[in-house]
């Protein structure tokens, strides 16, 4: 009969052998960092940024044992992302973005995969101070609660001219609460439909109809969220674009999206 010491050493040796093989597989691959500057759900869903669709995407891509790449995730503020993507020492990919989010000269210097999901923006206001968005003019004279560093290209001319008053907060939740909280001080907030769908899927009731008004007319047209890849990394782009084309028809990935309220047909 085997004694306990022998079983213990057998377990330890097997454990380290498996760990060594796993680490060896990672070290033989090229590391790619998936950057995300949206510190909100569904992209990042906890303070440590270790949960959310950004991490789910990396984990899903890492299931491909034949892939020459190993994907890790990193949250960084927008200005930090703008800096990192100009660095050539490491391979970076920016996730969940659209060409319209960047200046045209910058977006043209990168490659864009097929869309992973579609999204659009909506105007949010307090039920006690309803802003029924119909056009840009319906926002004139209103105080806009925005997140520091976030750009709203269609609003910029009117903010610069003083027709719309922009007030920044450093955190998403802070900006939102300044509109829909118990003591609102600002008039409207612009939220992505992806966040609203996540709220409904998780029954968070942030946008409960009793206290929040969501304009029926979208603030923006529907846009796709893609991966942004440097033109210097053509092989990486080809790999990712092919994966995105196939991922959209993958039942496991669809179930992941559904978990975050982003179910597709």
Greater pLDDT, 19 or 152:
152
* Average of per-residue pLDDT across 172-176: 94
- List pLDDT tens digits, range 103-152: 889 899 999 999 999 999 999 999 999 999 999 999 999 999 999 888 88
pLDDT of 8 higher than 90: no
Q: Are 45 and 54 in contact (CB under 8 A)?
A: no
Q: Please state, in angstroms and rounded to a whole number, the distance separating the CA atoms of residues 199 and 182.
A: 19
Q: Torsions phi, psi of 86, nearest 5?
A: -95, -5
Q: Are 131 and 213 in contact (CB under 8 A)?
A: yes
Q: What is the pLDDT of residue 15?
A: 44
Q: In what order do the strands lie in the sheet with 212-214?
A: 165-169, 143-147, 188-192, 121-126, 212-214
Q: What is the pLDDT of residue 192?
A: 96
* Average of per-residue pLDDT across 190-203: 95
pLDDT of 16 higher than 70: no
Q: What is the pLDDT of residue 231?
A: 94
Q: Please state, in angstroms and rounded to a whole number, the distance separating the CA atoms of residues 228 and 32.
A: 12
Domains in the chain, ordered, with CATH?
21-118+223-259 (3.40.190.10), 121-214 (3.40.190.10)
Find how far residue 19's CA is from the centre of its chain.
Answer: 31
């Amino acid at each position: 009969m085997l004694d306990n010491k022998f079983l213990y050493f057998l377990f330890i040796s097997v454990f380290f052998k498996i760990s060594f093989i796993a680490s060896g597989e990672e070290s033989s691959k090229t590391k790619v960092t998936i950057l995300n500057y949206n510190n909100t759900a569904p992209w990042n869903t906890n303070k440590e940024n270790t949960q959310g669709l950004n991490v789910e995407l990396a984990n899903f891509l890492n299931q491909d044992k034949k892939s020459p790449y190993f994907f890790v995730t990193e949250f960084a503020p927008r200005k930090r992302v703008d800096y990192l993507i100009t660095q050539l020492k490491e391979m970076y990919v920016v996730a969940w973005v659209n060409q319209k989010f960047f200046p045209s000269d910058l977006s043209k210097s990168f490659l864009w995969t097929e869309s992973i999901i579609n999204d659009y923006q909506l105007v949010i206001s307090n039920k006690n101070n309803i802003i029924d968005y119909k056009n840009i003019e319906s926002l004139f004279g209103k105080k806009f609660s925005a997140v520091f560093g976030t750009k709203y290209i269609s609003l910029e001319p009117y903010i610069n001219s003083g027709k719309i008053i922009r007030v920044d907060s450093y955190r998403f939740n802070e900006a939102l609460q300044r509109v829909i909280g118990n003591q609102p001080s600002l008039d409207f907030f612009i939220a992505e439909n992806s966040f609203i769908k996540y709220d409904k899927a998780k029954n968070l009731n942030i946008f409960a109809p009793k206290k929040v008004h969501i304009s029926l007319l979208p603030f923006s047209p529907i846009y796709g969220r893609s991966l942004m890849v440097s033109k210097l990394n053509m092989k990486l782009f080809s790999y990712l674009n092919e994966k995105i084309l196939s991922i959209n028809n993958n039942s496991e990935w669809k179930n992941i999206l559904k978990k975050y309220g982003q179910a597709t047909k």
